[in-house]
Amino acid sequence: MLTNSIHEVLENAAAAMQALKQYVPEQKAVFLRSVATEIDALGDALLQQAATETNLSIERLRGERARTTGQLNLFADMLMEGSWVEAVIDTALPNRTPPKPDLRRMLFSIGPIVVFGASNFPFAYSTAGGDTASALAAGCPVIVKAHPAHPATSQMVFQAIQTAIQKNNMPLYTVQHVTDSSFEAGKALVQHPLTAGVGFTGSLSGGRALYNYAVEREKPIPVFAEMGSINPVLLLPDAMKEKTAAIAKEYAASIVLGMGQFCTNPGLILCIKNEQLTIFLQELSRQIEASIPAAMLHEGIHQAYFTKMKNALLQKGVMLLQQSKTALHPMDALPTVAVVDATVFLNNPLLKEEVFGPYSLIVQCSDIQELLGVWKTVSGQLTTSIMGTENDFVNFPEIALIATEIAGRIVFNGVPTGVEVCPAMVHGGPYPACTDSRFTAVGIHAVKRWVRPVAFQNAPESLLPAELKNSNPYKIWRMVNNQLTKEAIVS
């Protein structure tokens, strides 16, 4: 796609931005629900297309589609509830010296957002995924750069979006679909002056490249790039005593789930070298040995997995624990777990790198202090998980606060795989999990990435947005003179 086509796309998006300002929350909510409906209406044909392009199973894709439509509906609910706009009103005190003005503020869309989807979630993190849904909820037009690994799937979903746009009389270019898979097209989109923000899910190098393009612009724009994680797991001593084999089974399943192709895959397990660890490793080994390989998403990911996994195993001091013993088909991943001592791990930065696939590295520590020390060196994750009993938590109460510096989500006595779509979810974290730890990709707060506050001082009632009018026509929660209320303001 030539640069002048990118230019046309952005001009169209800018026009859609202006048109969208005239749409009320209910219209946008109805539109989001309609996108969900149209995606469902594609039926099994969509699931089959995606299965062909990604090697994912139909059941997995059915579940993912439900999550995708669930996200769209969550944002529709958010729009109808209305308080997400953070309406704050401070009424005037004209007789004060100096007079206090009337000040009212709320959130507005920042402008057209370019969304780069992920290959490992062809629905939920792609064309109509969370970045698109949150940007639309924010009132931003979206330009989706179709992922080259599932172009036909993306096109089908885009068609569903187009149907929803037409059925609901939304601006024609509310969502656009760029199929040029070239690197230059991506750069041109990020650097076009009319682009206001970027959402990306993918590799560290890909995300950082886009971030670098965005920050060198004359007018820098925000980039929310979610770039992977090793999701360190802590196995505390008492939990290891009580539930040794159970933890091994639970984690083996999480490591191989989806052939490890989740950004929440547990790639690092920290434990103390003792009798329980020996039993744990035996059970983990059994589970991994018996695990069934399956095809990875695409050849690029497949090659990268084997390259990185083999390279990790070649590192001095890294001991292969076990691999699946089932024969591999082409494109299959090979579930693999390895073990290393803490001192070796601390001295080889390569061992902290994400190996995207069903691979996990167990780090053996001499005691809890060494374990906590290793943990603190892998800050910058989406999640960290802690397996512990009440006794462990009494013995190591500092663990929760340390965890808050390491990741955006702290999982207790569970696995990190499985991201609940709900208001309290945080899917984000310190760098390099994300380029901005202050935001989340999942949950209603995901909308905050795409909005900016604007204040109106002494505005005439007629020019105020509905959410800031005295009458509060949408009856939303607002902060009025420091009180949270839904009441109208009587002047």
The residue (of 182 and 457) whose beta carbon lies closer to its own copies is 457
What's 178's DSSP letter? E
482 contacts its own copies (rule: CB under 8 A): yes
Candidate residues 435, 447, 467, 474; the one interacting with its own copies per rule CB under 8 A: 435
462 contacts its own copies (rule: CB under 8 A): yes
Q: Which residues are catalytic?
A: 226, 263
> Are the CB atoms for 53 and 122 separated by under 8 Å?
yes
State which of positions 253-292 bind its own copies (CB under 8 A): none
Spatial distance between the Cα atoms of 199 and 99, rounded to a whole number of angstroms: 43
**Helices within 348-452 (DSSP H only):** 368-376, 390-395, 399-406
Spatial distance between the Cα atoms of 12 and 171, rounded to a whole number of angstroms: 10
422 contacts its own copies (rule: CB under 8 A): yes
330 contacts its own copies (rule: CB under 8 A): no
28 contacts its own copies (rule: CB under 8 A): no
The residue (of 175 and 419) whose beta carbon lies closer to its own copies is 419
How near is the Cβ of 390 to its own copies at its closest, in Å? Answer: 7
Copy the structure tokens of residue 410: 């702290």
Candidate residues 43, 220, 330, 349; the one interacting with its own copies per rule CB under 8 A: 220
410 contacts its own copies (rule: CB under 8 A): yes
Spatial distance between the Cα atoms of 383 and 291, rounded to a whole number of angstroms: 24
CA angle 456, 458, 462 (to 5 degrees): 80
Within 10 A of 438 (CB to CB), how many other CB atoms are there?
11
473 contacts its own copies (rule: CB under 8 A): no
349 contacts its own copies (rule: CB under 8 A): no
State which of positions 388-407 bind its own copies (CB under 8 A): 390, 393-394, 397, 399-401, 404, 407
State which of positions 441-460 bind its own copies (CB under 8 A): 445, 448-449, 451-460
Within 10 A of 19 (CB to CB), how many other CB atoms are there?
15
How near is the Cβ of 278 to its own copies at its closest, in Å? Answer: 28
| Span between the terminal Cα atoms of the chain, in Å | 56
What's 100's DSSP letter? B
What's 332's DSSP letter? B
Spatial distance between the Cα atoms of 318 and 57, rounded to a whole number of angstroms: 33
How near is the Cβ of 49 to its own copies at its closest, in Å? Answer: 26
State which of positions 147-176 bind its own copies (CB under 8 A): none
How near is the Cβ of 488 to its own copies at its closest, in Å? Answer: 17
State which of positions 76-135 bind its own copies (CB under 8 A): 81, 83, 86, 88-90, 98, 100-101, 103-105, 108, 110
484 contacts its own copies (rule: CB under 8 A): yes
Spatial distance between the Cα atoms of 387 and 16, rounded to a whole number of angstroms: 49
222 contacts its own copies (rule: CB under 8 A): yes
Residues in the chain: 491
